[in-house]
Amino acid sequence: MTDVDTPLTKVLGATTAKALANHLDLHTAGDLLYHFPRRYDERGDHTDIRSLEVGEEVTVMGQVRAASRRRIRAGADEMLEVTVGDGTGGQLMLTYFGRRQMWRERELRPGRWGLFGGKVTEFRGRRQLNSAQYVLLSDEGEASEEIEQFAGALIPVYPASAKVPTWTIANSVRVLLEVVTPPEDPLPAGVRAHGNLVGIATALREIHRPSSKEDLYRARRRLKWDEAFAVQLTLVQRKHRAAAWPARPRPRADGGLLAAFDAALPYQLTDGQRTVGEEIAHDLSTPHPMHRLLQGEVGSGKTLVAVRAMLQVVDAGGQAAMLAPTEVLAAQHYRGITELLGPLGRSGELGSADGATRVTLVTGSLGAAARRRALEEISAGRAGVVVGTHALLYEGVDFADLGLVVVDEQHRFGVEQRDALRTKGEQPPHVLVMTATPIPRTVAMTVYGDLEVSTLSELPQGRSPIASHVVPAADKPAFLERAWQRIREEVAAGHQAYVVCPRIGDASEEDASAAVDDNGRRPPVAVLDVAPLLSDGPLHGLRVGVLHGKLPADEKDTVMRAFAAGQIDVLVATTVIEVGVNVPNATVMVVLDAERFGVSQLHQLRGRVGRGSAPGLCLLVTEAPEGTAARERLDAVASTTDGFRLAEIDLEQRREGDVLGATQSGRRSHLRLLSLLRDAKLINEARIEAISLVEDDPELARHPALAASVAALVDEERAEYLEKG
């Protein structure tokens, strides 16, 4: 019997099975069954050639417009050039070199339709496929025999490789469908009925060989449901288990540090800060650990909310720890919290307030004596607020009574670190996760679905507007000159500036990003190259500093202190300044090679300016031509400062699998069909069913097939990535 676990070698033969394994990581019948088509072409339909990205492996449907051969040079070999059109005005050139390829001229006659596959390159402004593979449709518009073997009216186009084209995959699927026994349907009959879902056997057949568009829609809907349901079951189960853990309640105390802190604040909390503060205060008062995500725009006051939560825990006799992803950010938080608390955070010092606590910093670069003092303050319980990096998690950092963990920019931490924190207290501590990257609702529901979500959407009074503009350096070099001039004007007015580069530029840096890529693009600009060029050129006479991740920790701290003190006019940096860096006097940022950064990253970066009373300016410098996806992305960033809208744009332009960590694990994403943006309604329906099922059967003991399906779709690595929420 052939089932989903049968090796492909037993179904397809050694040669084809080896190719599928080596080039597409497909090893079993189940792997191939769940390798779904990327899209479906209809005969006579076309692909928009103008939308193809250079460097992509593509399969396009098009029509041969012209074919001609020419000699490459006198007495030498020949080349065949074939022009393929898509019906919209877009054209693609196919090139074949050598006399042995000239027989293709007889096949590739003008008027013939076909599928053409290969890697998109560009030569003299024209898109082309070198040595493209193809399958032609017959002159009558009917499918050739080869295509007819695997397709009806809708021709599936699979994610393929140069060595394994889509038609090879489709033919392999056709063979497999004839012999494989479909898996047992894991969805309970009641869930299928509620969702009006087809059975798994029907869905798997119709996704590969759809009889009609209606049947294809039903198949895709069922398989999307499986993906959404597996993720939601995992998250709802985790939330259900966490709710049963014990935790020490940390209720608000009258007349404590929090009350004194609120009374001393020189400004009023925003309505959002008050509302979220009440949600957190309630969670901290319960006998079960809080698991809450606090998201908010750059500058919305998340740190203040976190400090108030930490003081509530200190008032209740506990300690609070704040984890930051970098030493620069940890030091920044330490200085910021110390400044916010004032005398309330200087226990044991002259001028401290009655009942004050201590704020202690722990990083990997602390000297031995300073580390001993810090660890002793923590273990004795004198340090009520502890700020640090991953160093907080190492053995030897012992808390007297850890009650709350605040994690800044959670996506930078792994599940192991979160588990390590839970062992730091007698009972699991309350956990508050903060992110300045706005998260669309369906992503929050899918990635952070085991957390309660709070959102700060308004900015505190006094924050200045930020204007953003795209600077097309290749088309209009004068605009770049004007960017440097704007920096000089801001410095002359007493302000400061950032220049951000994608790369450090160490001489030892020999990674792929530093080399010319396959498409002939130059390497991204580097901090260590740009800083001296600016000092000697357009920013001559200004005080230029350098900051990047490979500097020693004490040097990074020295640079940031100097910049914050106004001793550096222009800081040339990598994305090490992306989060948490707060210098209100900085008013302008120039991002070089801006197309190399993601949408959310650019939004985070520009949040470093306009933090004081003067307006901010962000200039996105790029060589990306107009009309390209990269340029459209930058135009979108420049057009709005609404982080939630930008998060949706970011999601639209990314592969869905990235959201659930496909890039983290280096494996194929298990979200093959589900779109977190387009399938919001389906995801919500799946979550409602998941909540109902878990309440009735928390460990899915009565649904073993479903439990196995969830384990397969959300494997251990993916579950750990979800756990990061």
| Nearest by Cα to 669 from 714, 705, 720, 708 | 714
Q: What pLDDT sits at residue 441?
A: 66
Give the pLDDT band (50/70/90) at residue 408: confident
Looking at residues 134-142, what average pLDDT do you find? Answer: 64
Q: For residue 396, what pLDDT is reported?
A: 80
Measured CA distances, 712 to 12, 25, 376, 427 (Å):
24, 16, 46, 32
Confidence of residue 715 (pLDDT cuts 50, 70, 90): low
Statement: residue 660 has pLDDT above 50? no
More confident residue, 530 or 100: 530
pLDDT of residue 116: 85
State the pLDDT confidence band at 413, using cuts at 50, 70 and 90. Answer: low
Query: Do the Cβ atoms of 221 and 197 come closer than 8 Å?
Result: yes
Dig out the tokens for 326 from the structure: 């970098």
The larger pLDDT score, comparing residue 78 to residue 200, is at 200
- Mutual orientation of helices 327-341 and 553-564 as an angle, nearest 10°? 50
The residues, ordered by sequence, that sit 6+ positions from 243 with a Cβ below 8 Å of its Cβ are 288
**Which pLDDT score is estimated for 144?**
47
Per-residue model confidence (pLDDT) at position 151:
43
When pLDDT is cut at 50, 70 and 90, the band that residue 648 belongs to is confident
Q: What number is the average pLDDT over the span 429-445?
A: 77
Across 406-432, average pLDDT: 71
| Structure confidence at residue 75 (pLDDT) | 56
Flag whether pLDDT at 421 surpasses 70: no
pLDDT, residue 513, reads 46
Identify the CA nearest to 205 among candidates 166, 174, 228. Answer: 174
Cβ(471)–Cβ(621) under 8 Å? Answer: yes
Is pLDDT at 400 greater than 80 in this prediction? Answer: yes
Question: What stretches of 10-112 adopt beta strand conformation (E)?
Answer: 39-42, 57-71, 78-85, 91-97
Higher pLDDT, 707 or 463: 707
pLDDT of residue 447: 66
Q: Give the pLDDT confidence score for residue 149 in this predicted structure.
A: 45
Q: Coil, strand, or helix at residue 188?
A: coil
From residue 642, give the alpha-carbon distance in Å to each of 305, 361, 463, 588. 21, 34, 15, 19
Please give the average per-residue pLDDT across 92-107, as a whole number: 86
The pLDDT assigned to 27 comes to 93
Which of 313, 317, 386, 307 is closest to 340 using CA atoms?
307
- Tell me how many degrees the CA angle 464-467-473 measures, rounded to the nearest 5: 150
In three-state secondary structure terms, 699 is coil
pLDDT of residue 51: 73
C-alpha distances (whole Å) from 648 to each of 344, 442, 444, 607, 676 are 41, 10, 12, 18, 10
Q: How confident is the prediction for the chain on average, in pLDDT?
A: 83
Least trusted range by pLDDT, from 96-100, 108-112, 569-573, 688-692: 96-100
Query: According to the model, what pLDDT value does residue 256 have?
Result: 92
Q: Taking the model in full, what pTM does it have? A: 0.67
Contacts of residue 455, Cβ cutoff 8 Å, sequence gap at least 6? 272, 276, 294, 295, 296
- Highest mean pLDDT pick, 560-574, 624-638, 639-653: 560-574
Indicate the pLDDT class of residue 722, thresholds 50, 70 and 90: very low
Which residues have a Cβ under 8 Å from the Cβ of 292 and sit 6 or more positions away?
279, 280, 283, 431, 432, 433, 451, 452, 453, 454
Quote the pLDDT of residue 674. Answer: 85
Q: What percent of the chain has pLDDT over 90?
A: 40
Question: Which of 99-113, 301-315, 392-406, 437-451 is predicted least confidently?
Answer: 437-451
| Distance (Å, whole) CA 630 – CA 627 | 8
Candidate from 142-151, 335-344, 606-615 with smallest mean pLDDT: 142-151
d(CA 491, CA 561): 18
Q: How far apart are CA 52 and CA 54, in angstroms?
A: 7
Is the pLDDT score of 723 beyond 90? no
Q: 515 or 233, which is more confident?
A: 233
**The CA-based dihedral angle spanning residues 469, 474, 475, 476, taken in that order and rounded to the nearest 10 degrees:** 60
List of domains in the chain: 9-184 (2.40.50.140), 466-640 (3.40.50.300)
Mean pLDDT over residues 332-355, rounded? Answer: 87
- pLDDT tens-digit map of 44-94: 555 667 777 777 777 788 889 999 888 776 556 788 889 998 766 778 889
Q: Can you give the pLDDT at residue 659?
A: 47
pLDDT at 147 over 70: no
Does residue 507 have a pLDDT over 80?
no
